[in-house]
Amino acid sequence: MNKIRKEIINQYLDGELDYDERKTTEKLLEDSSEDKNEYLLLKRLDKNLQKMKSKQPSQDFTSDLMNKLSVKTATHKIQSRFIIGIITILMLPILLITWTVIYNSFSNYSAVGSSIIYTVKSNISLLLGNAINYLSISPVSLLWISLSLILSIAIYFLFEDFSRSKFYLDKIR
């Protein structure tokens, strides 16, 4: 049987032929037993293929997947929180270093700068009041000491949060 006839039989089977073509094919099938057998064979195959059922993954598939999804979402949240925490902790000393540099350059070279620094300095003195006088330390040093303290506490809480999150993740895994 040639390829074209086979193709026509397939098209007839799939209902893709128009009225005239269908009539011609039916005539062809009536005249040739070989073509008719081929058509009947493909029709049975088509019928059996239509009866096929989908295969199924394991029973726990959905619950496993949803569990993986929760872990992934939680991990993502923890990672983002940790990164934001680290960035914030790093930003504080950077800001303070910048402030110190500006403080030094302005107080040394600029009269306007000096007046700005003077204002800042007096404001800090006003805020911290007697503590500076009592400890007889400069406002900058006091700021550094406070910052170190804040940083130590922040780092402690950050790592505490991280280990708790890790424990939570292990629990839901």
Partner 1 sequence: MTTYSDNELIKSIKNGNQSDYSKLVDRYKDRAFTLANSIIKNEMESEEILQDCFLKAFNSLNKFRFESKFSTWFYRIVFNTSLTRINNKKRNTESNFLSLDEFENTLTYDKINDYRKGEISEALSLLIRKLPNNYSVVINLYYLEQMSCNEIGTIIDESVNNVKVLLYRARNALRNIVFENNYTQELL
Binding residues for partner 1 (CB under 8 A):
6-7, 10-11, 14, 16, 41-42, 44-46, 48-58, 61-62, 64-66, 68-70, 72-73
Using alpha carbons only, how large is the chain's radius of gyration in Å? 40
> Would you say how long the chain is, in residues?
173
Least gap, CB of 127 to partner 1 (angstroms) = 43
Give the residue with the Cβ less far from partner 1, 111 or 172.
172
- Choice between 33 and 136, CB closer to partner 1: 33
d(Cα 148, Cα 145) in Å, to the nearest integer?
A: 5
Q: How far is the CB of 37 from partner 1 (least distance, A)?
A: 11
Closest CA to 143 of 85, 105, 98: 98
- Tell me 129's DSSP state: T
Q: Which amino acid is at 129?
A: G
CB of 56 to partner 1, least distance (A): 5
Q: What is the DSSP letter of 17?
A: S
Nearer to partner 1, 27 or 76 (CB): 76
Task: Give the nearer residue to partner 1 in terms of CB position, either 10 or 32.
Answer: 10
How many Å apart are CA 84 and CA 131, to the nearest integer?
33
CB of 39 to partner 1, least distance (A): 11
CB-CB neighbours of 39 under 10 Å: 21
